[in-house]
């Protein structure tokens, strides 16, 4: 049974140092022609139960009571730009002070970085509406995907659906978890067989998920096509100015 605490107790904040630039799409030709400046720092991490979250192995518990702009940084990755096709990874450590074997779950999403210092628009461009912001977050969580593995041939496998709980059985008191992320650049990387980016079984699973019931998450207007995919990227690039990864860990 899950152990839960109050809404604020055990909330952990951290940041994966990611500076990125998003480009507006030129529909029908190349993905990006007009540059839209953007930057970000951010990973927010929360935990429920007695678990600790560490940025480095053997490090201190980075818990704070509330998220804030002066949250501690998590990780050391620094990118000069991020756009469709960019990828990376991060590792976090889950520690249980009383057990060497335990179960926990985590949930990952991509969200706006509302704690960016000096940003009064909560990570969005100033002239965007709430409807545009909601749609941009919906699309980025379908275009930027998380995986458990990056294989020797360069493909990704072990898809971790954004917003869904991922179960882990820890085999040590401090359990390392590495997550790989990639912003999938092309419609064909998901919906065409033989994709060089995603392992076959995972590609088929992702295509089935976003090609039917969840098509509005990946495609502008729910149009399952290359054009609908490109338009969704355009919405992301012209709406989101600062973004971050949101990770919640819960003891089971």
pLDDT of the residue at 90: 83
The CA radius of gyration of the chain, in Å to the nearest whole number, is 18
What residues contact residue 145 under an 8 Å CB cut-off, 6+ apart? Answer: 156, 159, 160, 162, 181, 182, 183, 184, 206
**pLDDT one-digit tens code per residue, 2-37:** 433 222 222 222 322 222 223 322 222 223 323 343
Alpha-carbon distance of 244 to 116, in angstroms, equals 10
Residues 6+ apart with CB under 8 A from 224: 191, 211, 215
Beta carbons within 10 angstroms of residue 70's beta carbon:
8
Helices (H), 53-176: 130-143
pLDDT at 64: 55
Please give the structure tokens belonging to residue 77.
């990755």
**pLDDT given at position 206:** 97
Q: How confident is the model at residue 140, as a pLDDT?
A: 92
Please state, in angstroms and rounded to a whole number, the distance separating the CA atoms of residues 163 and 108: 6
- pTM, full prediction: 0.81
> In the chain, which residues have pLDDT < 50?
1-41, 75-77, 79-80
Phi, psi of 188, rounded to the nearest 5 degrees? -65, -20
- pLDDT tens-digit series, residues 176-204: 999 999 999 899 999 999 889 999 999 99
Residue 141: predicted pLDDT: 95
């Amino acid at each position: 049974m899950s152990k839960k605490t109050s809404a604020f107790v055990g909330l952990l904040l951290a940041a994966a140092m990611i500076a990125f630039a998003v480009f507006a799409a030129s529909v029908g030709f190349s993905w990006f022609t007009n540059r839209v400046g953007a930057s970000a720092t951010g990973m927010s991490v929360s935990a429920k139960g007695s678990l600790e979250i560490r940025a480095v192995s053997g490090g201190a518990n980075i818990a704070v009571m509330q998220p804030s702009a002066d949250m501690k940084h998590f990780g050391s990755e620094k990118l000069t730009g991020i756009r469709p096709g960019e990828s990376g990874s991060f590792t976090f450590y889950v520690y249980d002070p009383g057990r060497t074997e335990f179960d926990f779950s985590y949930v990952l999403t991509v969200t706006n970085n509302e704690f960016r210092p000096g940003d009064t628009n909560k990570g969005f461009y100033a002239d965007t509406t709430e409807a545009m912001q909601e749609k941009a977050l919906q699309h980025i969580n379908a275009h930027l995907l998380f995986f458990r593995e990056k294989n020797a041939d360069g493909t990704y496998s072990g898809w971790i659906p954004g917003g869904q709980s991922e179960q882990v059985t820890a085999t040590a008191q401090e359990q390392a978890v590495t997550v790989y992320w990639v912003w999938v650049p092309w419609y064909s990387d998901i919906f065409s067989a033989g994709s060089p980016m995603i392992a076959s079984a995972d590609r088929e699973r992702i295509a089935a998920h976003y090609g039917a019931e969840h098509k509005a998450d990946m495609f502008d207007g729910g149009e399952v096509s290359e054009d609908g995919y490109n338009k969704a990227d355009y919405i992301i690039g012209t709406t989101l100015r600062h973004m971050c990864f949101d990770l919640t860990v819960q003891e089971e």
